Structure 1
Amino acid sequence: MDKSERRLKQYQDAIDASNIVSKTDIFGYITFVNDEFCNISKYSKSELIGANHNIVRHPDVNSNVFRELWNTILSKKVYKGIIKNLAKDGSVFYLNATIIPILDEKNEIEEFVAIRHNVTEVVELNERLLATKNELKDLNSSLEEKVKIQTKKLIELNQNLEKKVSIEVAKNEEKNSILLQQSRLASMGEMIANIAHQWRQPLSELSIDLFKMKQNINNVEKFLYTYEHAKVVIKNMSNTIDDFRNFFKTDKEKEKFFISESVNAAITMLKGIFAKSDIKIECDFKEDVEILGFKSELSQVFMNLLGNAKDAMKDLDDKRVEIGIKMYKNFVVVYVFNTGKNIEKEILKKIFEPYFTTKHQSVGTGLGLYIGKMIVENMGGLIDVENVKNGVKFNIKIPISKGG
């Protein structure tokens, strides 16, 4: 196997590991499914291979959807859309699907490849948001009008998130032929996995905010405070889409900002989750400095470190995170300490490698620290980790902006 074949094999493995994949013949009969497809559909491979793909078709889906789907792919075009499906056990799941016709040397359709990712949580979140909107109608007329306006903005924002992803995917698909898109699909799968990883904690944060809003429905001041926080969380979720989209650009412009702003943005995103988990955060920002870089991307780095710290301290009594800023002559160091158990030496060697994770696949992708390392290095900095007394400490070293 030569270098290009090995590289292609790695791309294919990356797509298979982070997506739900199937292949069908031109009549819609399944010829291949990966393990993720079996896990979500609750069918075994032997039950799926040879069956028509409508085995997972949900009866609620209008037949016009599938008519449009088949008209598109039989025209040798790529189909994209979110489809409602029915598992063997009767459970419902939603998949964002990209279906690609594979052509032979005579430009005839040979088979269809479908690459999907699970968006059930996002769809259900939208449904819960709509349900919450109806509950808020019992508020007084003045507050009800304000909530109606803000809720409409939230719904539009969620719809725009999906449009942004679809637009960016469509742009990538139009650039190259189907064969050359294999490598781009691997990058897209990695990007979506990262967004899903970053969204798990904000989605939990939103659930907490919705619960608080319901509890404080008669306390206008507390209600509005929680509501404003929820808007910040959703705005940051939207920014996450742009951050990951812009991550692969080479013409991004750096900006000057105080490093504490980036840290505080991450803390704001997770403070509800930390409070629920009884985790204390201690900050030492007496030394602050202006740096040149990418503020939103750096916030993602700190958010990932804080999220990992939460998981590492899950079963401990002493749950504490310390974040500090220390200035030196030409650079600044931000340290993030948590009271989790020391990391084994063999794991320390691999902790920043792509796809390396000690978590279950449904919880971690093994890309958070790898992407964080790339973000810091793209700002001319370094990131490392060390075992210290009573915990683990991450250090991020970044050059100080001239004139900052």
Structure 2
Amino acid sequence: MFERFFNYSNELMCIASLDGYFLQINDAFIDTLGYPKETLLSEPFTSFIHPNDIDKTLDELKNIGKGVDTVNFENRYCDSNGEIKILSWQATFDHESNSIFATARDITKERLAISQYSQLYKAVSDNIIFAKTNVKGVITEVNQKFCDISGYDKNELVGRTHKIVNSGYHSRAFFSQMWETISSGKVWTGLITNRAKNGKYYIVKSIIIPLFNIDNQIESYIALRQDITEQIQYQRANQKNLEILHETGTVAKVGGWELNTQSNEMFCTAETSKIFDLKSAGPISISLNQGLSLFSQSHSKLLHQAIDDTVKTGSPFELEIQTSGEKQPAKWLRLTGKQKEPFVDERIIFGTVQDIHEHKLAQIKHKEERRKSIQNAKFSALGELAASIAHEINNPLGIISGFAEILLYQSPNPDEKLSAIIDSCDRISHIVKNLKRFSSTDTIPCKTRVNLSEVVKDAISLTQPRARKYHAKLTAQIADNISVWGVHIELEQVLINLINNAIDAVETSLTKIITVQLLDKAHSPLVIIEDTGGGIDESFLLRIFDPFVTTKSENKGTGLGLSVVKGILEDHNAHIKVNNMECGARFEVSFPPLLYNQEQGYD
């Protein structure tokens, strides 16, 4: 009977000698340590004990030999996998057999759970306001954090309820709802405003958890709290600032904005919503990406970089940037931004936004007029220079051309070199004539019958050198003797602008081809300019002719060229449109047919 009980017991059972050997062990002992039975019986049991526990185990062995029973003695064994097993022993010495009878329990998991609980308890005690109450709400335990924030000692708190820190801020219904929740076995969370011993109010974020006994009955409650007083005070002050900013913005027509750089949530005042023509008539929250999308692509990157610099260095910024113009005409705004102190837990950047579109337009117009004045002065000087050199060049050029023609006429076998000389003379003469006309400062243009074929040829002649500079191939297909009613120099300006834009477009392309065509479509002249520059971004196509819209960098374009082109063509009752092809952009300029009354000068 004893042997069956010994072998089938779940407890670890063994018989050992005082000289440190196991004499007999049961199956539970073998299963726990994982060694073969022969190994456990053939080696001193100290071979399996953790080195740090051998001395105290030998001391306990001596006490057993003296007749002192062992009760709840703990030591550590190393199993066959090298893992630690903690055993709790009960042992007694039998004088008749001169042997030790012992039982042990594997309490490894229990000790691990207790260790983890102790670590968790210490972490909570050191970092969170902690309190424990009985089911009636009487405080039975608090940590030092509770004492520090409330100003009471532990002796003043234990045995009292939380009424000792009640601020009177919350209603009876508030606490009734809280007790109804926790007494039903559920966890309650919320914000509570308490009052410290010195009368100062503090706000805590609370989690109250019911604890159950073995019978699944609530036996106590624990409350974990976090002090968020400064955070709440900051939020309230921030809300007040936003209200003031909103009132100020309404009067001064200046909007305000605030960005949480951690959540990337952006708050806009009502005036800001109005400036951006957002759907909401009042304050609105949007994401940072949504906010950046309100601006043009290049200015969106500029604003994003400014925000990043403010986050990293704390430096404020002030920018004059342009909206995207997708939902409404593009306009200029002035944006300011800086960090809101303290810039620690919630990293906030705030600032203002002001509509400066009219001011900016006036500023740009002034710069453009000044540029035009300088350009006109240059053209005037160029005109005088062209007029003075025309005589100096044309006279010797006429002599060269005349003698070349005589030689060509007199020669029985015309020399190709003479033809080349005559062609070059004609080309030089044509360039001088175009240069002189293009630099003319006549400010009162008069519409007349204009040979559009000649206008296209002149424009190509003037832009050909620039095309060669960028290694672009400029080809032309020009119908002869097509006329329109207009101003020669203005139409030439239109074509030069469009061709130069095409040259800029192909500058970085592998294939650099620009094609200019002049066609006669049912007596309605049509000019087509195509390039292989990759086309125009779809977001720009619908507003490419608006003022200050440009696909070029700030150093290359003002965004006024195509706007001026459209204005000139409208004055000539002509139409311009643009679309993308497979490899580039295509501009079409269609003119009305030349009418009889225009031919007679009755425009």
TM-score by length of structure 2 reads 0.31
Higher share of residues assigned helix = 1
Greater C-alpha Rg: 2
TM-score by length of structure 1 reads 0.45
